[in-house]
Amino acid sequence: MSTIFARVRRTIADYRLAPPGTRVVAAVSGGSDSIALVHILHELDAAGDLRLVGLVHFNHQLRDAAAADERFVREAAEQLAVPVFVERDDVRARAAREKRSIEDAARAARYECFGRARAQFDADAIAVGHTRDDQAETFLLRLLRGAGSRGLGGMYPRNGHVIRPLLDCGRDDLRAWLRERASPFVEDDTNADVSIPRNRIRAELIPLLRSRFNPAIVDVLAGEADLAREAWAMLEASANEIEGRIVKPTTNGFVIDLSGAVGFAPALRRVVLWRTMSRAANGRPVGFEHVAAAMRLMEADGPRRLDAPGHRLERIGPTLVLTGGPSAHHEASPNLFRYPLSIPGEVELAEAGCVMSAEETVSAGSEARPGDPGAIIGRGLVAIVRRDLCHGSLAVRNRRPGDRFHPPGLSGRKKLQDLFVDRKVRRNDRDRVPIVVDAADRIVWVAGFGIDEAFQVTDPGQAVLTLRLRPKRPHVSGTTGLG
């Protein structure tokens, strides 16, 4: 077994990117990274580790060689006897039409294409060929722009349906592996364009750091991204719990209980404050300097008010009041609740008058009985979800302003507020609907209304979690809005 193959297999196992039976589509540009990805996934398919069900190629029509690249990918797919999904679009025209950069428009078009390919092949995941070098470049890009732990975490091994099996592999190692196999690939001449910030970092900054400071700089930077990502996950989990206790939505903003915030570390206060300011900012970016200024408002001898992007903050007695932004359009939720949910375990939800439980099951086959098909999509009081995607601890909370999730079968994400309106849930019941979230506060299940499509069981052999909601007393549906 080659070192590269073993390394990718370990990455997939460590992050649970593709358990056996997972249907994967490989995104292929024709470059060395993506061609290596295809061959590795093809070998993993032959070994029974996963199922490579197709390739996807998007032609951005930005280069003279774009048509030749498309032909190359089609030929590679034919040689491997793997079907290929190809789309093309004039990305330059789209960027001008939508008044965005070419890089941003290209990324948006590419990932929209990936989504259609996943549907075409009925796949569970789209694999992209980002490497350890890409991770190091991303870390430097965000460091130079002034990112915190969240941004410095770089690219995640999994982001929704997108997985990155090559994140522990270096670009030079992959090219050497391809040369050993005599596997051809194409060169993207736009990589030489140093007007693009990432290319400038790749062509100028990293070689300088490698030659003058540290020959292993790529591994160092990628390792720093791993540490930042782990630190952010811990901060997020703690901030989620704190936020439910000290942040209260109002009819035109939010109120933060400063007396409740005093006992927490500055890093946690900063995260909670940044997230609350971002919600109140009406889509405008909230940067480090804005949060730093707002932190001073939390001090007894600090200033009393501050104008920030899209909203205003004012210290009034033991509270920090944020006004403006989209919060004015949300109904007030005065009775916020949030409880940790162990696996296995159960928790009583006093505000909703019910009990939520979670238990592990070896496979979905034993639970998803024909008489209970709603459990697969969570449209009743039982939901069956993928265990491998529920990392860390779970929690049960009620809704928060801006909550969105992706119900199975819909083409995109939906505001929870809109869902409740569509389903005619009474206004007074909406804050009592239990919502199961993971450690990153991603919605797993809106009890009685559906799971998020990302957590949907796609193979009877997958390990699953069974989530159950049961009444603490009779007629619980009348108090939870689930009836």
Tens of pLDDT, residue by residue over 211-262, are: 999 999 999 999 999 999 998 888 888 888 888 889 998 888 899 998 888 8
The reply to whether domains 3-225 and 338-480 share a CATH topology is no
pLDDT bracket for residue 405 (50, 70, 90): confident
pLDDT bracket for residue 363 (50, 70, 90): low
Q: Which of 289, 275, 286, 278 is nearest to 242 (CA)?
A: 275
3-225 CATH: 3.40.50.620
Average pLDDT, stretch 272-286?
86
Architecture in CATH for domain 251-329: 2-Layer Sandwich (3.30)
Cis peptide before 344 (omega within 30 of 0): yes
Average pLDDT, stretch 260-270?
86
Average pLDDT, stretch 88-108?
86
Q: With a cut of 90, say whether residue 134 has pLDDT above it.
A: yes
Q: With a cut of 80, say whether residue 462 has pLDDT above it.
A: no
How far does the chain reach from its first CA to its final CA, in angstroms?
56
CATH of 338-480, one of 3.30.70.20, 2.60.260.20, 3.30.420.270, 3.50.40.10: 3.50.40.10
Question: For residue 207, what pLDDT is reported?
Answer: 95
Question: For residue 105, what pLDDT is reported?
Answer: 86
* Alpha helix (H) residue ranges in 281-395: 288-297, 374-377
pLDDT bracket for residue 124 (50, 70, 90): very high
Average pLDDT, stretch 185-197?
81
Q: What is the largest CA-CA distance in the chain?
A: 72
Four-residue CA torsion sign, 444, 446, 450, 453: negative
Question: For residue 362, what pLDDT is reported?
Answer: 60
Question: For residue 304, what pLDDT is reported?
Answer: 86
- What is the percent of the chain where pLDDT is above 90? 42
C-alpha to C-alpha distance for 279 and 273, rounded to whole angstroms: 10
Give the range among 78-82, 180-184, 460-464 with minimum mean pLDDT.
460-464
Average pLDDT, stretch 328-333?
40
What average pLDDT does the chain have?
85
Instruction: Report residue 101 as tokens.
Output: 């950069």
Q: With a cut of 60, say whether residue 328 has pLDDT above it.
A: no
Instruction: Report residue 357 as tokens.
Output: 């439980």
Question: For residue 263, what pLDDT is reported?
Answer: 80
Between vectors from CA 111 to CA 109 and to CA 116, what angle results, nearest 5°?
95
pTM of the model: 0.64
* 224 and 217 Cβ atoms separated by less than 8 Å: no
Q: With a cut of 50, say whether residue 366 has pLDDT above it.
A: no
Q: With a cut of 80, say whether residue 275 has pLDDT above it.
A: yes
C-alpha to C-alpha distance for 19 and 15, rounded to whole angstroms: 10
pLDDT in tens, 40-67: 999 999 999 999 999 999 999 888 889 9
Question: For residue 379, what pLDDT is reported?
Answer: 83
Q: With a cut of 60, say whether residue 274 has pLDDT above it.
A: yes
Hey, where are the domains in the chain?
3-225, 251-329, 338-480
Average pLDDT, stretch 146-161?
86
Question: For residue 202, what pLDDT is reported?
Answer: 93
Question: For residue 411, what pLDDT is reported?
Answer: 65
Give the range among 181-195, 304-318, 369-383 with minimum mean pLDDT.
369-383
Single-letter amino acid, residue 449:
F
pLDDT bracket for residue 333 (50, 70, 90): very low
C-alpha to C-alpha distance for 232 and 152, rounded to whole angstroms: 9
Question: Which of 23-37, 88-102, 395-409 has the highest average model confidence (pLDDT)?
Answer: 23-37
C-alpha to C-alpha distance for 397 and 433, rounded to whole angstroms: 8
Question: For residue 330, what pLDDT is reported?
Answer: 40
SS (H, E, C) 371-413: CCCHHHHCCCCEEEEECCCCCCCEEEECCCCCCEECCCCCCCC
